[in-house]
């Protein structure tokens, strides 16, 4: 089978597309014929070796994939079932999706809702599923379209694009923050954003811990000063779902928004989320994501293009989602 393989021997890192024998796959109870994987931000970091994502070498990267069960020792899946996998340290500690086959634990797999083709499930991928987890967190904390606008940072990226599309369909007024307002303004409006702001507005260290309120909730992919500014401008009883670090890992802020406005900072970890919550997120995507918008935000590439796309995503140059045809 063809695979993208990352190796690190004596601190010499390399990325190769190579033939790997099926018996080299890690031990696990379920063998999947991978049709598509995708490039998420974390995959970009792993494939460019710019952050210590990979913890076991050699590694097939790819934190997600969609495909068909070839064999399983588990009663939960049968041959031919269409499945998607997101996270569970796959592509980090356990061989991941950028290969024609993957052997994984059945407990890591989610059935693809019948509303989606296998390709569309991959297009949603970890970024889209994470966007839905963020939106579920806002709902859990009482943020509704009547509460006021919701901000999405990194709006032109993968998590951001899906979040904008779903929130708009749910009836929210969506403010999209992007570093590419000029280039991607039309795109963001086509997904449903009603207001665009440049991310530079949120990029500097917080000057006032309680700023003028601008949104009832937010989906934040950026972290760092961006997240601090987002919290400072969140309305009383609002909620900010924080999932990313595209701006930075740090967070310098004060408790003022939390204790004086009752704002909730909800952390999102898609990698170790429970199977029940995953099923809930995928079911909601099936009803709340317009597949025409999903198709419009998705680009397809073959395995050969992956190193270049990985560099692009780390540099913030990718729009929406990139699906990889692992046989292409």
> Is there binding between residue 158 and ligand NDP (CB under 6 A)?
yes
Least spacing, CB of residue 198 vs ligand NDP, in Å: 9
Question: Which of positions 42-71 make contact with ligand NDP (CB under 6 A)?
Answer: 42
> Is there binding between residue 143 and ligand NDP (CB under 6 A)?
no
The residue within the footprint of ligand NDP, chosen from 247, 306, 309, 324 (CB under 6 A), is 247
Nearer to ligand NDP, 41 or 77 (CB): 41
Tokens 């990325």 found at: 15
**Rounded Cα–Cα distance for residues 162 and 117 (Å):** 17
> Is there binding between residue 191 and ligand NDP (CB under 6 A)?
no
The residue within the footprint of ligand NDP, chosen from 244, 253, 298, 323 (CB under 6 A), is 244
Nearer to ligand NDP, 67 or 158 (CB): 158
Nearer to ligand NDP, 31 or 318 (CB): 318
Nearer to ligand NDP, 147 or 270 (CB): 270
Question: Which of positions 294-313 make contact with ligand NDP (CB under 6 A)?
Answer: 313
| Contact positions vs ligand NDP (CB under 6 A) | 40-42, 126-127, 130, 153-160, 178-180, 199, 221-222, 226, 243-247, 268-271, 313, 316, 318
């Amino acid at each position: 089978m063809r695979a993208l393989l990352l190796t690190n021997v004596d601190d010499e890192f390399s990325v190769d597309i190579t033939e790997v024998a099926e018996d080299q796959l890690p031990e696990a109870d379920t063998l999947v014929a991978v049709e598509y994987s995708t490039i998420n931000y974390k995959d970009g970091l792993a494939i460019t070796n710019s952050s210590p994502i990979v913890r076991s070498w050699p590694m097939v990267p790819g934190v997600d994939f969609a495909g068909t069960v070839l064999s399983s020792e588990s009663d939960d899946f049968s041959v031919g079932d269409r499945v998607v996998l997101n996270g569970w340290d796959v592509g980090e500690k356990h061989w991941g999706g950028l290969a024609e086959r993957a052997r994984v634990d059945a407990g890591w797999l989610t059935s693809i809702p019948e509303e989606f083709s296998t390709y569309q499930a991959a297009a949603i991928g970890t970024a889209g599923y994470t966007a839905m987890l963020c939106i579920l967190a806002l709902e859990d904390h009482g943020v509704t379209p009547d509460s006021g606008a919701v901000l999405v940072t990194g709006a032109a990226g993968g998590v951001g694009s899906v979040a904008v599309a779903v929130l708009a369909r749910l009836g929210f007024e969506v403010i999209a923050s992007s570093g590419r307002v000029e280039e991607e303004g039309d795109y963001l409006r086509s997904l449903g954003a009603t207001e665009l702001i440049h991310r530079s507005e949120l990029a500097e260290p917080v000057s006032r811990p309680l700023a003028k309120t601008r949104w009832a909730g937010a989906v934040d992919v950026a972290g760092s000063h961006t997240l601090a500014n987002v919290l400072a401008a969140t309305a009383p009883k609002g909620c900010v779902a924080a999932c990313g670090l595209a701006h930075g890992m740090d967070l310098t802020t004060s408790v003022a928004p939390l204790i004086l406005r009752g704002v909730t900072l909800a952390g999102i970890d898609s990698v170790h989320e429970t199977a029940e919550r995953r099923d809930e997120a995928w079911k909601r995507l099936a009803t709340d994501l317009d597949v025409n918008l999903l198709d419009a935000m998705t680009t397809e590439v073959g395995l050969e293009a992956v190193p270049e796309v990985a560099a692009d995503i780390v540099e913030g140059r990718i729009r929406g989602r990139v699906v990889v045809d692992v046989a292409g």
